[in-house]
Amino acid sequence: MFSAGTHTSAVTLQWAMSELIKNPKVMRKVQAELRHVLKGRERIYESDIQDLDYLKLVIKETLRLHPPLPLLLPREARVKSEIGGYQIPANTKVMINVWKIGRDPKYWINPNNFIPERFSDNAINMLGKDFEFLPFGAGRRMCPAMNLGLINVELPLAMLLHHFNWELPDGATSEHLDMTESFGAALKRKHELYLVPSAW
C-alpha cells in the first residue's frame, strides 16, 4: 500500500513538472488557469480542483506518456485463450505494456508530443474501459485508489504552479532538459529533476 501509494504519485508529479518545463506554452496556460480560478487567494482547497479543467488534462497527458507502472501488474492466463489472433496457453504470464499503448500512433496523433488538449474533446477516461489509455490498469486488479492517487498529484501540482514560477538552473533552456526514463517496473526519471522556483 505504501509503495503503491507514494511512489506512483511522486513520479507522476516529477514527470508533470518535467513536461511543463519542456513545454512552456502549456506551463503558461495551466498557470493562467490557476491564477484565474484562485483570484489571488493563497490557499488551495480540494474543492478548487473541480474548476481546474486544464490542470486535469495536464495530469492525464502526463499519465499517458509516463504511466508510473508501465507494465501494470503481471497476469496469468488460467485457461488456454486467444487474444488478437495470438494463442495464449494456460498458465502463461501476460504483461500489458501500457507505456507502448499510450504512444501507439494507431490511437494517438503525434503520440510523443505533450498535448493535454487531445483529451479535451473526447470521452477517454482512466476507468479501465478505454484500452488505449490504462494508467491505473483495468479489471478486478486495477488500482483501487485512483481518486486518492489523482488528488495526490492534483493538489501538490496546483500548489507548486500557483505559488511559484519555475525554471531550469544556470540559465539552461527547455531543450537542455533530459527526459530519459530509467528502466524498471516503475517508470522514474533517469536523472533527478532540478528546478529553481521564483515567487510569483
133 class by beta-carbon count within 10 Å (0-12 exposed, 13-18 middle, 19+ buried): buried
Which residue's CB is nearer to ligand HEM, number 141 or number 190? 141
Query: Which of the ranges 35-43, 69-77, 79-87, 181-189 carries the binding residues for ligand HEM, by CB under 6 A?
Result: 69-77
Site for ligand HEM in 10-29 (CB under 6 A): 12
Cβ proximity to ligand HEM: between 38 and 145 the closer is: 145
Q: How many CA atoms lie within 13 A of 70 on its CB side?
A: 17
| Cα–Cα nearest to 159, from 200, 117, 115 | 200
Residue 160 lies near ligand HEM (rule: CB under 6 A)? no
Q: Is 143 annotated as a binding residue?
A: yes
Query: Is there binding between residue 58 and ligand HEM (CB under 6 A)?
Result: no
**Neighbouring C-alpha atoms within 13 Å toward the C-beta of 184:** 9
The three-class DSSP label of residue 108 is coil
Q: Are 116 and 60 in contact (CB under 8 A)?
A: yes
Stretch that binds ligand HEM, among 32-40, 79-87, 143-151, 187-195 (CB under 6 A): 143-151
Q: What is the C-alpha to C-alpha distance for residues 115 and 178, in angstroms, rounded to an integer?
A: 19
Number of residues that bind ligand HEM (CB under 6 A): 23
Q: Are strands 164-167 and 196-199 parallel, antiparallel or unpaired?
A: antiparallel
Residue environment code for 61-77, b if the CB has 16+ CB neighbours within 10 A, otherwise e: bbbbbbbbbbbbeeeee
Interface positions, 72-91, toward ligand HEM (CB under 6 A): 72-73
Which residue minimizes CB distance to ligand HEM? Answer: 137
What's the rounded Cα separation, in Å, for the pair 19 and 51? 22
| Binding range to ligand HEM, per CB under 6 A, among 15-23, 105-113, 130-138, 184-192 | 130-138
**Interface residue with ligand HEM, options 21, 153, 157, 161 (CB under 6 A):** 153
Q: Could you say which of 124, 142, 179, 195 contacts ligand HEM (CB under 6 A)?
A: 142
Q: What is the largest CA-CA distance in the chain?
A: 60
116 binds ligand HEM (CB under 6 A): no
List of residues contacting ligand HEM (CB under 6 A): 1, 4-5, 8-9, 12, 68-69, 72-73, 135-138, 141-145, 148-149, 152-153
Which residues are annotated as part of the binding site for heme? 143
Which residues are annotated as part of the binding site? 143
